[in-house]
Structure 1
Amino acid sequence: MKLQQMAVLAVLLAGCAGPDVQQYRSVTPALDLAEYFNGTTDAWGMFQRRNGEVAKRFHVEIIGVQDQNKLTLDERFHYDDGSKQQRVWHLVRGGDGLWHGTAADVKGEAQGEVAGNALRWQYTLLLPVDGTTYEMQFDDWMFLIDRCTMMNRASMRKFGIELGQVTLTFRRRACSP
């Protein structure tokens, strides 16, 4: 490999590096994923294309049920164009300290790591668009703001190129800070 090609590769790989979730391990309030999502949570969000244009807005109602080390999240999406979608996550807290998750429209297994008030959640979403299904890599970062509110920012990539971002605000029902 030529020196110039190696330099380009190094720059591209450096662009993929991000923060380590462990840098948030001492930040409070500490996130207990199963506790936060147990019950009903509402979320409001939007998808922005990489140029910043808002392409879609949505509301999600999430019903979370905890059973020992398992957490099921039934997500009901309501989009601003009138369309609806459902995703049911099956999450398990592993002995390795990570969360492992599956859903019908997720390829393979999602993995998440919690540290302090933060969760980094990574997975490949099977996204249908105009009759074709695309494999989109998601890198979700969730931050607990207080015991009732969490913020989420997700990067959506294909072939390592960011195509857009999803931003969400979660709010637990029947909760006061």
Structure 2
Amino acid sequence: MKRRLLLTGMAGSAALALAGCAGPQINDYASEKPVLDLREYFNGTLDAYGLFTDRSGKVVKRFTVVMRCTWTGDEGVLDEDFIYSDGTLQKRIWRLKRFADGRYTGTADDVVGEATGQARGNAFNWKYTLALPVDGKVWNVEFDDWMYLMDGRVMLNTAVMSKWGVRLGEVTLSFVKRP
């Protein structure tokens, strides 16, 4: 009997520990304000400032981005020009589609397959696989990307990058919409 109680207690503790590992869910932000409408925020020109930290927290690379964003109905184009701290340049053009329930899909040349996301309240969660060139090879890495609208001009973004379930690092960005 004691053994059964001990095993039951251990199983319950394990279940609680696993539940504690679950990350935030998009519905956690449903009542947060201001409400994020990607078509409204990502419309016009934005500047972004970011950095990539490795899994130890060390800043590996800094970058800036100029984004030119347009929407036609529920279809958007985010034309991004990156300048990295080592002088390299990169261009990414996202093509987004909005659905009535707050879901979005998107494609870009260096995105493997289709990105999927959902907006609720002031937050947007976006998941995708990026073909990332590293030392002459291309690695497909997973991004779990969270954006939080702070006000009409500023949005904060944090994305965890992983491969085979192993956390590789994090990207942190601030977006500022030009007046």
Q: Answer whether TM exceeds 0.5 for this pair.
A: yes
Does the alignment pair 1:89 with 2:69? no
Does the alignment pair 1:21 with 2:26? yes
Which residue of structure 2 lines up, in the alignment, with residue 144 of structure 1?
149
The whole-number CA distance in structure 1 between the counterparts of 2:131 and 2:57 is 23
The TM-score, its normalising length taken from structure 2, stands at 0.88
Alignment of 1:55-94 (within 5 A): 55-94=60-99
Which residue of structure 2 lines up, in the alignment, with residue 170 of structure 1?
175
Residue 18 of structure 1: how far off its partner (Å): 1.1
Q: Deviation string for 1:80-104 (max 9, x for gaps)?
A: 1100000000000124531000000
Q: Which structure 1 residue ranges, 5 or more long, are not aligned?
A: none
Query: Paired residues, what number?
Result: 168
Contact 2:102 2:120 in 1 (8 A): no
Q: Deviation string for 1:134-177 (max 9, x for gaps)?
A: 01000000000001000000000000010000000000011xxx
Which residue of structure 2 lines up, in the alignment, with residue 135 of structure 1?
140
42, 59, 73: which is aligned to 2:47? 42
CA 82–10 in structure 1, closer or farther in 2 if over 3 Å, else same: farther
94, 103, 121: which is aligned to 1:98? 103
Q: Residue 115 of structure 2 aligns to which amino acid in structure 1?
A: A
Contact 2:62 2:85 in 1 (8 A): yes
Residue 17 of structure 1: how far off its partner (Å): 2.5
Which residue of structure 2 lines up, in the alignment, with residue 31 of structure 1?
36
Identity %: 52
Pick the structure with greater CA Rg.
Answer: 2
Which residue of structure 1 lines up, in the alignment, with residue 162 of structure 2?
157
Aligned-pair RMSD on alpha carbons? 2.0
Q: Residue 55 of structure 1 aligns to which amino acid in structure 2?
A: V
Which residue of structure 1 lines up, in the alignment, with residue 4 of structure 2?
none
The whole-number CA distance in structure 1 between the counterparts of 2:70 and 2:134 is 31
Alignment of 1:96-135 (within 5 A): 96-135=101-140
CA 58–24 in structure 1, closer or farther in 2 if over 3 Å, else same: same
Q: Which structure 2 residue ranges, 5 or more long, are not aligned?
A: 1-6
